[in-house]
Structure 1
């Protein structure tokens, strides 16, 4: 059975993120995309617009000195413009390390990502790591 086009879009996004190809990643998003990051740390909040979202992703690499790795575990589509993904993040930042499961809930319109809601298995651990 063929993969749903929305799931394939998200897999392409993960692949581009993994190689640092921000141009390819940006091409998968609408200009007004929003990425919502939970918690109370310097990265938390609503990153609005393609440039702001790509800036967030570049900052993740900078803050972790390029150590961040994201291992995609699952992608699920509802066939109505929503996709959920689950992954494990591993990264080092200064003298801290993190290995944590996260999920993203995507809204897709016209074959482009318009909204990304991020969830984590431990908000306090993420806040400590990024603060």
Structure 2
């Protein structure tokens, strides 16, 4: 059986590759200028990052700084509905001080045209991620 990857699935895969390699220029080119990333929980990284610059220079930069560059994400799967939504599942790993975290999570994407306009993040254990990232 031949597998034909939907363009939205390919977009999400390229986004994960760009994130993993630290290529924020490419990642930014895949987002609308008003893209919003919604981060669950009550930690210092939780909240709504509105606008491509806030997503890249705010949230993603903070993840790198707080983890000392140790954050990595392994993509497990991408699923699309063909109507502008894609869902990705992954496992993420990071270290912070004397602590480490390894957890499953996912991102739910809204795609407008050929760009990501909204990202809703989900994690397996919000309490644990809040504890790991801290309150600042």
Aligned CA RMSD, in angstroms, stands at 0.5
- Aligned residue-pair number: 131
- Aligned to 1:115, the other structure's residue is in SS state strand
The aligned counterpart of 1:5 is 7
Match of 1:101 among 91, 100, 104: 104
The aligned counterpart of 2:73 is 70
**Unaligned residue ranges in structure 1 (runs of 5+):** none
**Unaligned residue ranges in structure 2 (runs of 5+):** none
The aligned counterpart of 2:56 is 54
Q: Give the structure-2-normalised TM-score.
A: 0.95
TM superposition outliers: structure 1 runs of 4+ over 6 Å: none
Cα deviation digits, residues 75-128 of structure 1 (max 9, x gap):
000000000000000010011100010010000001000000000100000000
Q: Note the C-alpha offset of 1:58.
A: 1.6
